[in-house]
Amino acid sequence: MVSIDGKEHGDSLIRVRNLNKIYRRGGETIEVLQGLNLDVEKGEFVAFMGPSGSGKTTLLNLLGGLDTPTSGTVTVDGDEITNMSGRHLATWRARHVGFIFQMYNLIPVLTAFQNVELPLLLTKLSKAQRRKHVETALGLVGLTDRMKHYPRQLSGGQEQRVAIARAIVTDPTFLLCDEPTGDLDRKVAEEILDLLTELESEHGKTILMVTHDPLAAKRADVVLHLDKGALIESAEEAAAS
Amino acid sequence: MKYLPFIFRNLFRKKTRTILTIGSIAVALFLYGLLVTIETALNAGVDVAGVDRLIVRNKISLIMPLPFSYQERLRQIDHVSEATFATWFGAIYQEPKNFFPQFAIDTDSYRRLYPEFQIPDDQWQAFLADREGAVVGRLTADRFEWEVGDRIPLQASIWGGTWEFNIRAIYEGSRAGDDESLFWFHWKYLEERRPWGKGSVGWYTVKVDDPEHSVAVSEAIDRSFANSPYETSTETEQAFAAGFAKQIGNIRMLIMSIGAVVLFTLLLVTGNTMAMAVRERVPELGVLKTLGFKDTTVLFLVLAESLLIAFVGGVLGVGLAKFFTMGGDPTGGMLPVFYLSTAEMISGIAIALFVGLAAGSIPALTAMNLRIVDALRRV
């Protein structure tokens, strides 16, 4: 079960405690996240919603070890990532996190195959093993026939599928999706969401997704709202606050 | 190695820019190769000069003669094991542009002092037996397509008239850098035919039994001919050759200055290319770091690109320079020792790699220090 009360849950995969993030721009101080707590169990699909500037992407960055909090802790599968050095954090990200971005963020000079292979270059797998993994990942997203295509030769939906394949190819502990359907039309967005749901239900992936789209959020097991730097469980509560 | 395809892909992201940068490096290194070759050519005598040989010349000037009678007196000086002499002939073959140095030599002793010049014994004997015989270096022989047995006429600009010689031997240097453009003939033949200056020689070459005695022997020679009508100035062959090269000016400094300006410009060109490459790729570098690429790996990827550009350009430029210099002296005899050594080629490629490293270091450090959240914000 997802919980935001900060009470101890022995079986949490992701545990966030008292997380604060403060930005200072010039003389101004912006408190983006204020004492945020979160517990997510393995295999859950959580959606974060909230208005622009509410701190959704900041939270995702902190959960993925892309940024460091002002205070508080993030613990994933027993590892407290907020204490890790940049070097260890990079290794940890490679092993535990799969990232899916709104703009796909594929490397344009690499083919679909090579883009998916990128995270595997950081492992000790042989070339043949890497090929097998890449083919499996591309097979899961239904793009085995587009392996040699460059991103410019793919549609937006196909590009996002390649990005998903890249995110899952190392079999990470959890997936972080930042507006994964934000740049896609409804039909393609539904296909991508079907894929994410399938990854959760059939492959047991833990997924944390930031979205503006209520229809996308509906696919998640739990929808959490970010408001004034804190998490609340329902839109009504968010509106009331 | 597993990153190599990725580095290559990035390199040819902007094909025109990469090719132009490689071209700039190649042109600069080609120029470097030529400058080094010219510098080597000008200092060739210095590099290969014998450490146990002294040059004895007229104290007033090299063009002033010394008496033939000095040879025996030189041989009497302590630690002198042999003394030979030569006289500058200064003739023209067909037309003035066909320059090559000709010396009238003492055939009895000259070969003993210059063992680095390889001459087949039978050819040398044929030369000794023919008063009009001549020995010519491989470079000059090839240049004019002369072969042993050919009879060639030279217009003597100092002594006047046409002098005919029979090519009896062709010598080759035993070391890279040995001058293979020389033309030797019998001093006795010169002595017979020249209308004036009889009984004189241009300069002496003295061999000392131990290079450690060079300074003492030089002083002893000059002392023994002091206060005579023909005072001498003696120095090691190396110092003599260096002084000769200096007459043309401080070529080394000039060449180094040109080289430094070229390389500095190159640094700016390559640095700019790499800076642009990194600027354009900030979001992608952010993605790489997001995927787990370490800061040092990103640094390595950018530096590797820069080094690869520099290496390809360097190899191309130095290779072109080598190809160009393989044709030999392009000046028609002014730079007889005209070659680009393997050591200089390696130096050239090392310089190119240094430029690549220096040019790529700032962009690479920028990439390394890039914060992921800032990089991704630029998508």
pLDDT digits (tens, 9 = 90+) for B188-235: 999 999 988 899 999 999 999 988 888 899 999 999 999 999 999 998
Q: Which pLDDT score, from 0 to 100, does residue A106 have?
A: 94
Chain B nearest-CA distance from A51, in A, is: 18
Chain B nearest-CA distance from A101, in A, is: 10
Under-70 pLDDT residues of chain B: 44-51, 244-249, 331-336, 378-379
pLDDT digits (tens, 9 = 90+) for A95-119: 999 999 988 999 999 999 999 999 9
**Residue B183 region by backbone torsions, left for phi larger than 0, else alpha for psi between -120 and 50, else beta:** beta
Rounded to two decimals, the pTM is 0.71
Partner-chain residue, chosen from B295, B296, B372, that has the shortest CB–CB distance to A66 = B372
Domain ranges of chain B: 4-44+249-377, 60-230
Q: Which pLDDT score, from 0 to 100, does residue B135 have?
A: 96
Chain A touched by B14 (CB under 8 Å):
no
Q: Which pLDDT score, from 0 to 100, does residue B224 have?
A: 93
Specify the 3-state DSSP secondary structure of A151.
Answer: helix
Query: Which of A23, A109, A110, A178 to mutate against chain B (most B CBs within 10 Å)?
Result: A109
According to CATH, what is the number of the domain A43-67+85-240? 3.40.50.300
Closest to B83 (Cα-Cα) out of B107, B116, B109:
B109
Q: Do B292 and A114 touch (CB under 8 A)?
A: no
pLDDT digits (tens, 9 = 90+) for B138-181: 989 998 999 999 999 999 988 888 999 999 999 998 877 788 88
Q: Do A64 and B376 touch (CB under 8 A)?
A: no
pLDDT digits (tens, 9 = 90+) for A14-38: 999 999 999 888 888 888 999 999 9
Q: Do B379 and A103 touch (CB under 8 A)?
A: yes
Q: Which pLDDT score, from 0 to 100, does residue B263 have?
A: 84
Give B12's contacts in chain A (Cβ within 8 Å).
Answer: 109
**Taking all residues of chain B, what is their mean pLDDT, rounded to a whole number?**
88
Residues 6+ apart with CB under 8 A from A121: A130, B2, B3, B6
* Percent of chain A surpassing pLDDT 70: 97
Under-70 pLDDT residues of chain A: 234-241
Distance CA B154, CA B133 (A): 13
- In chain A, whose CA is at the least distance from the CA of B2? A121
